[in-house]
Amino acid sequence: MAITATYLGMPLDISGLDTENLEYFRHCAGHDFHLQRCAGCGLVRYPPTTACPWCANPEARWVPVEGRGTVHSYSEVHHAIQPAFKNHTPYLILLVDLDTQNGEPTPDEALRVIGNLATPDGQLAPPDMVKRVGIGTRVRMVFSDVTPGLSLPQWTIDETATQPEKPWRYPQE
Ligand SMILES: [Zn+2]
């Protein structure tokens, strides 16, 4: 069944034909992060797709994956393209290397999961939190509840992790 919702005033729509994303977000709605593990080569993949990007095997099963990782890169948005985000600037878009399967199948690869920087309760992070995060920051997954049946995976600072002394950030004021 398709999912339709409104997030920050924007329409979100996942088609009833998009079985992989429907299953992915069904887990997210329970604040439970799952990805597909290939039945052929055993590798986990992200984002959800119909076949394995490494061996093309279409068979997979959903497995729980720990939502912890390190910021691989980020974009700090000061001028929102989407009017819906205008009241939330500056905000961060994070690309996070999961700890799971990091460096596999080649040393340069990782499961890189995208999300916004958020507070532990899933709200977009305030400016003083945005300033503290950069490449190397340790983060953990949290969820933004949009509507019953739809939650978005996001990232927050992992309070229990050892953090880099100074995460790399673009030079600024
Ligand atoms: Zn495979």
For residue 39, report the distance from its CA to the centre of ligand 1, in Å: 7
For residue 109, report the distance from its CA to the centre of ligand 1, in Å: 15
pLDDT digits over 46-63, tens only? 999 999 999 999 999 999
For residue 58, report the distance from its CA to the centre of ligand 1, in Å: 8
Q: Which residues of 19-49 are buried (b: 16+ CB within 10 A; e: fewer)?
A: ebbbebbebbbeeebbbbbbeeeebbbbebe
pLDDT digits over 120-161, tens only? 999 999 999 999 999 999 999 999 999 999 999 999 999 999
pLDDT band of residue 114 (cuts 50, 70, 90) is: very high
For residue 59, report the distance from its CA to the centre of ligand 1, in Å: 8
Which whole number is the average pLDDT over 75-94? 92
Higher-confidence residue: 57 or 171? 57
Higher-confidence residue: 10 or 104? 104
